[in-house]
Amino acid sequence: MRRLRSLLIPIALGFLIACERGQSATQAIGQFAAAEDGAFAAERGAYRGEVKGLLYYETTLQLPGAASCAVYTPARGKPAFGTCDFFATDADDAQRIYQQWKQNTIAALPGWKTAELAHVPNGPVAAFQGVDDKQHAVYLYIVDDAGKYRITETFGTTSAFASH
């Protein structure tokens, strides 16, 4: 019995770790959206500094494949928001990642009102947003910085977006 237990415990732990690492995109998006209610307080990791008046923290949340994820909290009591960045090698790769995460977001947040945003001069290459009736919001966009492409998905309340 002990031998069997000593074999099963490592197998079970390995399975749990693999499941956690294999978290689906829709599960991860759902966790970010749920964290909006608590202003990402429980998801804040190590403090990393201040950027443009925002306190910057590592986050315990992660979107699969993201290069980095963080939580930003304004120093003056405005609502916090969580964000993840993906990097692309070229414009086609950026569009592919953007379309993939747009579909992931739609699948993860059924019932949310979603829309592709009109192109804004000197703004993002592409932008997509979703909101629900509880004032939760998500904003996905592509930035082209001299041929270096970043795709960012940001989660926060509608008041967080309005205040930044």
SS3 state at 44: strand
What is the pTM assigned to this prediction? 0.80
Q: Domain extents for the chain?
A: 24-163
Q: Report the alpha-carbon distance of residue 31 to residue 25 in Å, rounded.
A: 10
**Digitized pLDDT (tens) for each residue of the chain, 164 residues in all:** 443 333 333 323 233 333 344 679 999 999 999 999 888 999 999 999 998 888 999 999 999 999 999 999 986 767 889 999 999 999 999 999 999 999 999 999 999 998 888 776 667 788 888 888 778 899 999 999 888 999 999 998 877 766 55
For helices 91-108 and 25-35, angle between their N-to-C axes, nearest 10 degrees: 70
Q: Which amino acid is at 75?
A: A
Per DSSP bridges, beta strands 148-157 and 136-145 are antiparallel
